[in-house]
Amino acid sequence: MEEKIKKVNLLYLLGYIFVPIIICALGYALCYFCFRDGGTGAVLTTMVPSILAVVWWIFGGSLIFRKKTKELEQRFNAEGYKRNQTFYGRGKTVVLDIEKGMLGICFFWNPCQTYILPATRVEKAWVDDGKMGSGFMEGSSRVSFLFTIDGIKVRVDTFASNQRFRMDDKRILTGISKADMMVQNINEAKAHSEKNSTKKTEK
């Protein structure tokens, strides 16, 4: 049975949010019981965990994700695949070996598991240009490419903003072009993967 991909590791997500809160709460409790008069002990038990928690929430996730992305790339190379295309999306990294039809993926909220799968498991890949509004209000604030693996939809943004831009804006066109390219490469990898698997079964 093939392993199903998991976009979010709930334990990691909850730990990421609540472990620093618990450590801060323990620090405050320690300060309350042991350093009620203030001083260095009070500063160490209240300020330090609070600052560390904020630093962790801001940088911790990105650092782990970046490290795991590097590990995925190394694993991909070590398994004998060539990285024809690597897309570093927001919260997702997609690696493709087009000739051998393999796809590697790493998720921000599930960095403990990186996946290297045959592209045949991709059921569908498409582009969402995020077009909305009409007339002079027509535009987009997000362009992404999407694909489904074992029925699970994965969305990777190629452009995202809190503003809406016209459809002929340079940023939107670049986003669409990147998404089109990725979809084309995924489909190509899928076709190669299917060809490789039929060759194997014939043998």
Q: List interacting residues with another protein (CB under 8 A).
A: 168, 170, 173-174, 176-178, 180-181, 183-184
In whole angstroms, give the CA distance from residue 186 to residue 103.
Answer: 8
Output 53 or 179, the one with its CB closest to another protein: 179
**Cβ nearer to another protein, comparing 170 with 199:** 170
Would you say 31 or 143 has its CB closer to another protein?
A: 143
CB-based burial of residue 27 (10 Å sphere; 0-12 exposed, 13-18 middle, 19+ buried)? buried
CB of 85 to another protein, least distance (A): 9
CB of 170 to another protein, least distance (A): 6
Cβ of residue 177: shortest distance to another protein, in angstroms? 4
Largest Cα separation within the chain, whole Å, is 79
- In DSSP notation, 52-74 reads HHHHIIIIIHHHHHHHHHHHHHH
Residue 127 CB, nearest approach to another protein (Å): 9
How far is 189 from 195, CA to CA, in rounded Å?
10
Cβ proximity to another protein: between 31 and 178 the closer is: 178
Amino acid letter for position 47:
M
